[in-house]
Amino acid sequence: MKSNSVIASCLLVTLFFFSSLSFAQSNQAAYKPAIFTDQDRLKNVQATAETVDLIFKEYAKEHHTPGFVYGIVLDGELVYSGGFGYKNVEKQTPVNNASLFRIASMSKSFTAIAILQLRDAGKLNLDDPASKYIPEMKNLVYPTMDSPKITIRHLLTHGAGFPEDNPWGDRQLADTDKEFLQMVKDGLSFSNAPGIAYEYSNLGFALLGQIIQKVTGMPFEKYTTEHILKPLGMNATVWEFEKAQTENLALGYNWIDSSYVNIPLEHHGAFGAMGGLITSINDFVKYVNLHLSAWPPKSDTDTGILKRSSLREMHYPWRFFELSDDFYYLTGEKRKCPYVKAYGYGLRWMQDCNGKVYISHTGGLPGFGSNWCMMPDYGLAVMSFDNRTYGGTSSVNVAVLDTVITLANLEPRQLPVSNILEQRLNQMIKILPDWQNAESSGLFADNFFLDFRVKDLVKNSKQVYDKAGDIIDIGPLKAINQLRGTIILHGKDKDIEIFLTLSPEKNPLIQHVEVKSIEKTKYLN
């Protein structure tokens, strides 16, 4: 029989577990994901179809693409799609949504998903040295004595120190595993020490393909088909062109001397992990929706092929590679808009001068070009494929997204104000401008009155309120995140902006306040 002390200890542990669970559930229930507030989003995007079709049609004509297909996705739905030209020029066979195009380096994110599936299953670590899984890498001669060993994370983010290898890598697609591993064993050349620079490497993703095979004991093609393609319902998507539906397979071409020249398709081999996937608009929309489903973070049941948090990890800008002030939107009035770019895991990240974030990847091989791009904050994505050598479509896809957002008046998700932030902002308004009993109010974190003198706070607030004149209205609360936000008080002469940041305690308190005068803003009550 257990002693009373043991029973009591068990009860305490049980109570602690359930109280912790209750607190976690309470936190999750309090979290408010960002939402779309426009009820006409779908209808407004549908109305852009004619304009977008014309943009793509002109682009396809200008770039001499034999065949061209595209699709626009909103909130998990293929809103509209289209296509021009031929998948087989010789037979004059038109393209359609079922046409299968080789999407080249757009394949890299599928390889990244496979790696993260294995990471999430505890079968590898992203900071493992790649040589742990590929013994042929153990004798690599690094460029400097202090070079770190190449890790899986280096390979995922193009930071392994290998030279940029377009178009060399494109011609290695069909290499056998034996040929590839012998090349690695014979030694590789470096352009940088690992870990210090971004340089696009098809070789790096071919190495990831070998790691997937080593960890799973399955051919790369078989693993990704069974654990990514089939679960997503991408049943027509294949790595080897001989396994593709013959009636839907797009052939590759190049535009040479004012005519189309057929470019023979390469077989799937050791470099397939960097760019060999063959898919259609009908299938790829399912993949796009997988990525869009990761946003925003939420407490819904997580049952996809990869955890939503891991998908968002893929979208994160892990390795910076470009800052430019020479970017222009190509649609409507030409507008200059600087941007910054980085690489995630098998995907590119870009943020423009307006704060818009784009997650994308381009593909290019002899005979094919492609791009897909999504804007998670808008629930919007575009994909386009063609069958002309290096007929990349990234610039036109960004132009189309800009057009859709502009014509449909799309707004990004808006973050609702959390209950605690709303409570603290309203409490803050009541003690202004004289900060009456602020120190004893229990509203402020223990740092606050160590950082700010009450007399200085009162002086500043009264000056701001005097400039504003009579307060005639209170504007809406605006959340920056769950614990930070602003509110506007509309005065007769000027407006007042109150900004709060709350503390990370269980019961968040005010750790920072800014009260300032601003020019009058428009507000409709």
The 10s digit of each residue's pLDDT in 351-407 is 999 999 999 999 999 999 999 999 999 999 999 999 999 998 999 999 999 999 999
Q: Percentage of the chain with pLDDT > 90?
A: 89
Token pair, residue 494, equals 């000027």
The string of DSSP letters for 469-515 reads: -SEEEEEEEEEEETTEEEEEEEESS-EEEEEEEE-SSSS--EEEEEE
How much is the pLDDT for 523?
Answer: 52
What sign results for the dihedral spanned by CA atoms 510, 512, 515, 518?
negative
How far, CA to CA in Å, does 230 sit from each of 76, 217, 236, 275, 289? 18, 19, 9, 19, 15
pLDDT confidence of 332, banded at 50, 70, 90? Answer: low
Interstrand relation of 368-375 and 357-365 (parallel, antiparallel or unpaired): antiparallel
pTM for the whole structure: 0.92
Token pair, residue 4, equals 């009373």
* Higher-pLDDT residue of 515, 337: 515
pLDDT at 159 over 70: yes
The string of DSSP letters for 191-221 reads: SS-TTS-----HHHHHHHHHHHHHHHSS-HH
Reported as a single tens digit per residue, the pLDDT across 416-461 is 999 999 999 999 999 999 999 999 999 999 999 999 999 999 999 9
How much is the pLDDT for 27?
Answer: 64
Reported as a single tens digit per residue, the pLDDT across 10-28 is 444 444 444 444 444 556 5
The mean predicted confidence, pLDDT, of the chain is 93
Reported as a single tens digit per residue, the pLDDT across 30-65 is 889 999 999 999 999 999 999 999 999 999 999 999
How much is the pLDDT for 137?
Answer: 98
**DSSP code for 225:** I
Reported as a single tens digit per residue, the pLDDT across 176-227 is 999 999 999 999 999 999 999 999 999 999 999 999 999 999 999 999 999 9
| Residue 353 CB neighbour total at 10 angstroms | 13
The enclosing H or E element of 278 equals: strand 278-279
* Higher-pLDDT residue of 408, 338: 408
